[in-house]
Amino acid sequence: MSKKILILGAGLAGLSAGFHIQNKVKIFEKEEQVGGLVRTDIIKGFVFDYDGHLLHFKTKYAKQLINKLLPDQLCAHKRNAWIYSNAVYTKYPFQANTFGLPLQIVKKCILGMLKAATKTKDKDSQNLYDWMLDSFGPGITKYFMYPYNYKFWTIPPQELIPDWTVNFVPQVKLKSVLDGAFTFKTKALGYNSEFYYPSEGGIDLVPKAFAKHSKAIYTGYEAKVIDIEQKTVLFKNGKTEEFTQLICSLPMIELKKLIVNKIPENVKTAFSKLRYISVYNLNLGIDRAKISDKHWIYYSEDKFSFFRVGFPMNFSKNTAPQGKSSLYAEVSYSENKPLDKKGIDKLIHQDLIKAKILRCDDQILVSHVNDIKYAYVVYDHNYRDCLKVLNAFLKANSIFAVGRFGKWKYMSMEDVIIDGKQIAEELDQ
C-alpha cells in the first residue's frame, strides 16, 4: 500500500511539514484561512498579529528558506527590549542589565550572582526556582526572575521544571552582570537579540508563503473523529479521509477527545495531566504618534495586569497609519489563575496609563482582542513522564506530532519551521 499522508492543521508547523514533503500530501485546516496563530488582522489601517510573532534565526537553513520564500520583504531589527520595575526602565535581559535600579537592589543582584558563580553545583536544579538561584543568585531571582515567571506562568516556579530555559533565557557570566550594573552599553544577549519582520503587511506573510507551495490545502475542515484502528479522520463537514501516516499539529491535549478508540489508562492519565496557559491579547490603535521608541517591555510587578507590552509600529512603519501608534498588551491566565474578561480591557487601559505608556486624553481608534486558549505549554513536574507516554502512544499509531502544540513544546517560529522539515525527513526514511 502506498503512503497516504494527511496533515491536520495549516498553521506554520503543518505548512512547513507539507512544504518539505515531496510526495503528494493533503493539509486540512478548521479555519477558513491558513496560519493558525501566525495570523494577522488589518483594521482601519492598523496591522495586528495574533500576539507578538517575530522571526529569529539560529540556523542558516531557516534564514535562507524564509528569504527565498519572501525575497526582499523582511527588515532586520536590533532588539530594543526593556523591563519596567521599581519605576525604572532597565535593558533586557534583566540579569545582565541592572543599571538604573536603586543601588541597594543592584548591590544585592551583584552579590547574589557572585554567590551563584562561586557555588559548587552537586546536581541539576530540580525545579525552576532552584534553577534561578543556581544560575543567577537570590538578588536577580527576587527582583525579576521569580516574580516575572510566577506572573507569566500563573504557577509558582517551585512547581515548574527548567527544561524550556536552555534556548529562551540568556545565561550570563559574572563579568556581564558587573558590566550591566554600571552602564547601559552592554552586549546584546539571547536568541532574539536580532529579529526580522515584514516591511509590508503582517507576520501572516510567512505561512501564506509556505501555503503557495502546497496544492492540496482544505480549509473549513475541522476534525471530529480520529480512528486509529481504521486509520481514518472524520471531519465535522461529514467528509472522511484515510491515512497511513497522520501529521498532527493540533494541540496534543485535544487528541484525547478526537480518538474514538479505546485508549490505555496510562495514556488517558498522561493526556489529563497536560497543562497550558492562555493569553488575553489586547491590541490598540492610538491617535498619537510614537508613544514609545521600544519594541517591547516586560512587567514583572503585580500592580500591572500585563506581563508584556509590544509596539508593532516599531516593527514596521507600515503597521500603523501615519501619525498613529499601535500596541499589544498580554495577560496570562489559566485554571490556576482565572481571568475576569468582563473587566480586563478597562483594567489594561488603566494600567497602560499607570505605566505612562498612554495618556488620559489619548484617543483609542481601534480596540481588538485575540483571546488565545493555547498560548504556552506548562513544564510542570509531570511534563517529562506525560510526554514520554504520549509520544510513544502516538507514534505506535502512526501519528506524528509537529509544532509547538502538536508536540507540546515551547518553540520559536524558526523551531516550528525546522520541526516540520524534520518530520518530513523522518517519514521519508
CA distances from 208 to 28, 82, 218, 389 (A): 15, 31, 14, 34
Location of each CATH 3.90.660.20 domain in the chain: 276-377
Which stretches of 146-198 are DSSP H helices?
146-153, 165-168, 174-182
What Cα–Cα distance (Å) separates residue 363 from each residue in 48, 310, 347, 370, 388? Answer: 18, 18, 16, 21, 51
Give me 120's grid cell: 559548587
| Residue with the three cell numbers 520583504 | 73
Classify domain 5-36+202-273+379-427 at the CATH class level: alpha beta
pLDDT at 122: 66
pLDDT for residue 240: 97
11: Cα separation from own chain's centroid: 13
List, by residue range, all CATH 1.10.3110 domains of the chain.
Answer: 92-184
Mean pLDDT by runs of 10 across the 429 residues of the chain is: 89 97 90 95 96 92 96 95 96 94 97 89 84 96 98 98 92 90 80 91 97 94 98 97 97 97 96 98 98 98 98 96 98 97 96 98 98 97 98 97 97 96 88
pLDDT of residue 1: 52
CA distance 356 to 374: 30
**Residue ranges of the chain assigned to CATH 3.50.50.60:** 5-36+202-273+379-427
Spell 371-382 as b/e; 16+ CB within 10 A means b. Answer: ebebbbbbbbeb
Q: Which fold has domain 92-184?
A: protoporphyrinogen ix oxidase, domain 3 (1.10.3110)
The model carries a pTM of 0.95
**Residue 262 neighbours by CB under 8 Å, 6+ apart:** none
What letter represents residue 5's amino acid? I
pLDDT of amino acid 358 = 98
Give residue 210's pLDDT: 97
Q: Determine if residue 60 is left, alpha or beta; phi over 0 gives left, psi from -120 to 50 gives alpha, anything else beta.
A: alpha
Q: Residue for cell digits 552579590?
A: 111
Q: Which amino acid is at 137?
A: G
**The predicted structure's pLDDT at residue 428:** 74
Among 265, 278, 311, 271, residue whose Cα is nearest residue 292: 311
pLDDT at 118 (0 to 100):
85
Does domain 276-377 fall into CATH 3.90.660.20?
A: yes
